[in-house]
Amino acid sequence: MSTHTDLIPQGGHGDHAHDTGASHSTFKGYMTGFVLSVILTAIPFWIVMSGGLHTSGMTALVVLAFAAVQIVVHMIYFLHMNSKSEGGWTLLALIFTIVLVVITLSGSIWVMYHLDHNMMPSMMEQQMKNMP
């Protein structure tokens, strides 16, 4: 007859084992993420407030680039996402989400562009003149 202690694996944790592969962050890791986040926020703020870039388009591109880098910093240092966490499923879910967002945004922009292009007021006037 087996006892309850015979069913516990050698690690001694039983059902409480958390072998997900996720890295448990330390204070140093959180502080690194925090400092990087502050820097990645302060630089675009300074660029916008000082008018460092003369064109608004270039300023927008620089701010968006810093935002993308900051998203990656947050995912790595605060969400602990990497290829090893939960057997790679969190990274796969992130890639799938990014693909869906890109498809949705590009499709929406494409539809809005073509609606704007095909529904110009001058076209409507020409169609109204050609009606019997």
SS (H, E, C) the chain: CCCHHHHCCCCCCHHHCCCCCCCCCCHHHHHHHHHHHHHHHHHHHHHHHHCCCCCHHHHHHHHHHHHHHHHHHHHHHCCCCCCCHHHHHHHHHHHHHHHHHHHHHHHHHHHHHHHHHHCCHHHHHHHHHHCC
Is the pTM of the predicted complex or chain greater than 0.75?
no
pLDDT at 83: 77
75/35 Cα distance (integer angstroms): 15
Share of the chain above pLDDT 90, in %: 39
Q: What is the pLDDT of residues 42-73, one digit of tens each?
A: 999 999 999 888 898 899 999 999 999 999 89
| Orientation angle between helical segments 27-50 and 56-77, nearest 10 degrees | 170
Contact (CB, 8 A) for 53 and 62:
yes
Q: What is the pLDDT of residue 129?
A: 74
Give the pLDDT confidence score for residue 123 in this predicted structure: 63
Q: Is the confidence at residue 13, as pLDDT, over 70?
A: no
Reported as a single tens digit per residue, the pLDDT across 66-80 is 999 999 899 889 988
